[in-house]
């Protein structure tokens, strides 16, 4: 429930700007850096209760329709899991 409240708060501040994007704090301009990390945080929140990496989040973990579902992001490296897995495979083959 707390994740849903946090998601709603974040999205309400974002939708006030027709062009979208996120910012550091009120009065600051939107930028790619904060947009990236806000979306990554939303992804982590959506996937926080997934049983394993292949289990999609529950509808109750996504605000609005399932079209708002974000790809699972690696918590440490901040890239989608598909790209993370490809990079790991590449570097394991290179060794």
> What is the extent of the structural domain holding 69?
2-94
Residue 13's pLDDT is 64
**DSSP E strands, 33-81:** none
Which string of b and e fits 15-39 if b means at least 16 CB within 10 Å?
A: eeeeeeebbeeeeeeeeeebeeebb
At 70-90, the pLDDT tens digits run: 898 998 999 999 999 999 999
2 phi/psi in degrees, rounded to 5 = -65, -35
User: Taking a C-beta distance cutoff of 8 angstroms, is the pair 81, 71 a contact?
Assistant: yes
Q: Tell me the per-residue pLDDT of 17-64, one tens digit each, with 9 for 90 and over.
A: 677 788 888 788 888 998 898 889 888 888 887 777 777 787 777 877
Please tell me the total count of domains within the chain: 1
pTM: 0.74
């Amino acid at each position: 429930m707390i994740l849903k409240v946090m998601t709603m708060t974040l999205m309400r501040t974002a939708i006030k700007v027709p062009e979208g994007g996120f910012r550091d704090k009120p009065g600051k301009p939107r930028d790619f850096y904060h947009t990236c990390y806000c979306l990554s945080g939303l992804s982590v929140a959506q996937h926080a209760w997934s049983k394993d990496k292949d289990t999609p989040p529950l509808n109750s973990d996504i605000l609005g329709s399932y079209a708002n579902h974000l790809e699972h992001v690696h918590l440490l490296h901040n890239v989608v899991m598909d790209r993370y897995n490809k990079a790991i495979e590449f570097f394991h083959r290179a060794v």
